[in-house]
Amino acid sequence: MAHVYTRIETSDSVKQGRRILSTLYSEHHRAPETLGLYAKAFYVQYLKSGDQPDTRDGGLLRQSRNYYREGFDNSSDDTYCGINAATKTLLLSEPGSKDDTKAIADEVLRRLPKENLGAYGYWELATIAEAKLIQERVDEAAKDYLRAVDHSPGEQGSHRVTPASVRDLCNVLCLSDADRATLEASFKHL
């Protein structure tokens, strides 16, 4: 499965990856990992469908969100699908999406208890930060992004991916320049 994910990320074979994942889905493979990969394939295709958010195929973003949401709803401990469902829901800007997004973010945070912070890696800590950003708790999110970076200094590849998501969320949340600067400070080392 990881091979399919890599191909989706590094080549134009998104449609091939989607076909493989569609087959798995039709065979009732509905684990969060499978649904997360399937959703990611739709999201990558969405990103490739236009140069700017307003020129992209929103149907692909909606499908991505739906599969992430299904993966989140099918599990009691998944957070990867959950945070992505929340982010994609917010990016869709549908009526009522902010409330739905914040509810998903609340559940993601519930599934990542504070007492386990020392055991988390970069992505769990960045997920906590992203959930707080979605809830518009900017100062807390900035501290948590910095915690994630400081905790995992050797994961610069992961660090490089995160600012684009932060920028997308800042745009859809209409955050101030000061809030954006606060959030981006965690990634000044890049």
Domain boundaries, the chain: 1-83, 112-190
Query: For residue 124, what are the CA distances in angstroms to 54, 57, 108, 120, 130?
Result: 30, 30, 10, 6, 10
Is the sign of the CA dihedral 64, 66, 71, 73 positive or negative? positive
What is d(CA 34, CA 22) in angstroms, rounded to the nearest whole number? Answer: 10
The whole-number pLDDT of residue 11 equals 53
The whole-number pLDDT of residue 187 equals 94
In tens, the pLDDT along 19-57 reads 888 888 889 888 999 999 999 999 988 988 888 877 889
The whole-number pLDDT of residue 28 equals 87
Residue ranges of the chain with per-residue pLDDT less than 50: 1-7
